[in-house]
Amino acid sequence: MQPDERDAAYLWDMLQICEEIADLLKEHDEAAFHDNRLLQRAIERDVELVGETARTLSQVFRDAHPELAWREIIGIRNILAHEYGRIDHALLYHTATDDIPALATRLRLILPAKEGKT
* Residues 6 or more apart in contact with residue 115 via CB below 8 angstroms: none
Residue 118 included in any domain: no
Mean pLDDT of 91-102: 96
Catalytic residue among 71, 77, 94, 106: 77
Q: Decide if pLDDT at 62 tops 90.
A: yes
Residue 104 included in any domain: yes
pLDDT at 1: 57
* Length of the chain (residues): 118
Residue 116 included in any domain: no
Q: What 8-state DSSP symbol labels residue 113?
A: P
pLDDT at 4: 81
Q: What is the pTM of this model?
A: 0.88
Task: Express each pLDDT in 2-41 by its tens digit.
Answer: 668 899 999 999 999 999 999 999 999 999 999 999 999 9
| Cβ-contact 16, 67 below 8 angstroms | no
pLDDT at 74: 95
Residue 54 included in any domain: yes
Catalytic residue among 34, 65, 82, 108: 82
Is 77 in the active site? Answer: yes
Residue 98 included in any domain: yes
Is 82 in the active site? Answer: yes
Range of the domain at 26: 5-110
The count of domains in the chain is 1
Residue 117 included in any domain: no
